[in-house]
Amino acid sequence: MNLRHPIGLILFFLALLLRLAGAPEATPSLVGIIEGDKYLSPINAFRVTIPVLAELGGSITDTENVVTFQDVFSTHQSIACFKMDATQRWEEETRGRKEYLIWFFSNFVQADFQQRFPGARIESAHFLPSTQDGALLTYNLLPGGSMFIARVAINTAVEPPVAKRGNLLFVKNGYVFVLSIELAEKVVERSAYDKTVADEDALLRQRLLGLLGKISFSSLPVTETTASPQKPVAAPAK
């Protein structure tokens, strides 16, 4: 992967998002800043009310572009934001908001899901024109892709559970945002689980919009002089 190319950087950070999401404990230090119950993005793109509690096993892991909140019970939420370079801005201007978000998700997010979790697929997708001037909502099924697998006793003869994740993509102030939440109940409740697909979709949509409601965005559009540069970094160990 060419980390000097803007698209290579986006692919790298999306892959890093998924790897960090599986970390069971917080890193010793954060790139972002904690102020009371708020997490502040290190590139000053947003701040968000922290959705996990330390006393309930909550942890935070982050990079310059991705923060993941997780606890041992039912919360796995990630916020990724990537500065749009000239190529990305051109794609958005020429394709239009809806088609750009579909293109971005297909080429970067879904492509990474498929690489990491063979058999991963999009269950459904919807465009929300009134959310953030146009947002893409997707529901993904990820075989073996649950972040709560440690809570489930798996027989080696049985296929690993299929995780379901909701994703909300939108553009704000010169950044592409990707909010991602796993539906923990689908994995941890196992035989007691009785939700329909419609129930699942409604829960994930509610939680994604709830997470969006906890976010405050920078009031200034990103510029070359105000944004922190995204420097190439070494790939994490697998």
Q: How does pLDDT run across 148-161, given as a tens digit for each residue?
A: 887 766 655 567 78
**Cβ–Cβ < 8 Å for 64, 43:** yes
Q: What is the mean pLDDT of the chain?
A: 84
Instruction: Name, of 9-23, 26-40, 152-166, 201-215, the range with top average pLDDT.
Output: 201-215
- Is 96 a domain residue? yes
Q: What is the pLDDT of residues 30-61, one digit of tens each?
A: 999 999 999 999 999 999 999 999 888 899 99
Instruction: Please determine, for residue 238, whether its predicted confidence score (pLDDT) is greater than 90.
Output: no
Q: How many domains does the chain have?
A: 1
Q: What 3-state DSSP class applies to 6?
A: helix
The answer to whether position 237 is within a domain reads no
CATH code of the domain in which 173 resides: 3.40.1000.10
Q: How many residues does the chain have?
A: 238
pLDDT of residue 26: 43
More confident residue, 218 or 138: 138
pLDDT of 119 strictly over 90: yes
DSSP 108: I
Q: How distant, in Å, are the alpha carbons of 44, 103, 210 from that of 111?
A: 28, 11, 26
The yes-or-no verdict on residue 10 having pLDDT over 70 is no
Q: For residues 140 and 112, is the Cβ–Cβ distance under 8 A? A: no
- Token digits of residue 90: 């051109």
Domain enclosing residue 158, as ranges: 6-217
DSSP assignment, residue 149? G
Q: Which two tokens stand for residue 46?
A: 């947003």
For helices 86-95 and 97-104, angle between their N-to-C axes, nearest 10 degrees: 130
Domain-located, residue 187: yes
pLDDT of residue 11: 47
- Asked if the model's pLDDT at residue 3 lies above 60, the reply is no
pLDDT of residue 98: 98
Lowest mean pLDDT among 2-16, 105-119, 124-138: 2-16
Tell me whether residue 229 is in a domain.
no
Q: How far apart are CA 130 and CA 132, in angstroms?
A: 6
When pLDDT is averaged across residues 199-219 and rounded to a whole number, the result is: 96
Q: Running DSSP on this structure, what letter comes out for residue 72? A: S
- Give the three-class secondary structure for 94: helix
Residue 172 lies in a domain: yes
* Nearest partner of 184 among 166, 157, 158, judged by Cα: 166
The contacts found for 221-227 with CB under 8 angstroms, 24 or more apart, are 221/173, 221/174, 222/45, 222/83, 222/84, 222/173, 222/174, 222/175, 223/174, 226/44, 227/43, 227/83, 227/174
Q: What are phi and psi of 209, to 5 degrees?
A: -70, -30
Confidence of residue 94 (pLDDT cuts 50, 70, 90): very high
